[in-house]
Structure 1
């Protein structure tokens, strides 16, 4: 999921890491210092259109390295969230660094996430602009619920529950969709999907160029 200008990350000290309040978190989380940049897959690639495999083994150096790489790749691409199949890895995992509508920054990862079904009595759909790092340069309005709760595990196999409201709830839903083999384009009408693909065709090379510039600025 991409960050739009009106959704820039908050600069105050209200932060939740792995769902827990902390005093602060650096602008670039520690994972980015250890990570390597990976290529972001683009809509049309087969790995984005099929469900990802459940993670069975936790606590491995390979899993930690993947998460580090995903954090760095997400930040270089100006993302708020990134799923493993967006870096061509067929596993149920995503990372996030995303603000909610209260100005709280949420940073972390979740493995094998499952979203709680929304409560029909309090469910509220919100139409808001949504982008995707795998649909570079495009942004379309997508209806999502304004509250989401994801159950899953951290990289050590500990159970985690991540709750989001507003824009962060949108992020949790967007990234979980990826792991089920869907992009936000699948939620659009035929007309809007065609428009999103038109935007991508017109802007993708500029987006790719900006990623190269940002990576170079970070010495990557």
Structure 2
């Protein structure tokens, strides 16, 4: 299919929880292909369907050379002591802010054939799994920032060129 434009913070689709996907919908294969093609662009770690304007529950990841996807993912477990990590987002381009994430995460969902998929990992993969499921639940990572960090983050975001011009896609 194609590399799709990324919706930016301020676009209402990013604040809406995504609907579960029905695997009998013929459009699902195209969505998965677009998610995989779009996340494969160098420098990208994860991408939720609503970030390309589709309010359905699927995401893709690109971590350490491994690209994959999950349909209808749910976080099954997180573990370890939450750690402060610098986090960025394709929908909030150009910014990284410190936020707490669990160092290990496990997500369960399905693939296009309806077979169970379990993705789990530590570090960046754990962070991406939590981040992308948050997107599908209608939450942006900046919502999880400490209050003083969030105030500064919002000041910086409002000063960005893309925010001032009202851009909603990158």
TM-score normalised over the length of structure 1: 0.68
User: How far is the alpha carbon of 1:58 from its aligned partner?
Assistant: 4.4
2:36 — aligned with what?
71
Q: What SS does the corresponding residue of 2:118 show, helix, strand or coil?
A: strand
The RMSD of aligned alpha carbons is: 2.2
Question: Hey, what's the Cα distance between the residues in 1 that align with 2:155 and 2:67?
Answer: 32
SS at match of 1:118: strand
Name the counterpart of 1:192. Answer: 149
Q: 1:36 to 1:204 in 2, by over 3 A?
A: same
Structure 2 residue ranges without an equivalent (≥5): 164-169
Other-structure match for 1:54 = 20
Q: Give the structure 1 partner of residue 63 of structure 2.
A: 98
For structure 1, which runs of at least 5 residues remain unmatched after alignment? 1-34, 100-104, 206-211, 213-220
CA contact (8 A) 1:55 1:92 kept: yes
Q: CA deviation at 1:59?
A: 7.3
Question: How far did 1:194 drift?
Answer: 3.2
TM-score, with length taken from structure 2: 0.86
Q: How many residues align?
A: 164
Runs (4+) off by over 6 Å: none
Mapped contact 1:52–1:85 kept (Cα < 8 A): yes
State the structure with more CA Rg. 1
- With over 3 angstroms needed to count, the CA separation of the structure-2 counterparts of 1:96 and 1:183, relative to structure 1, is same
Match of 1:38? 4
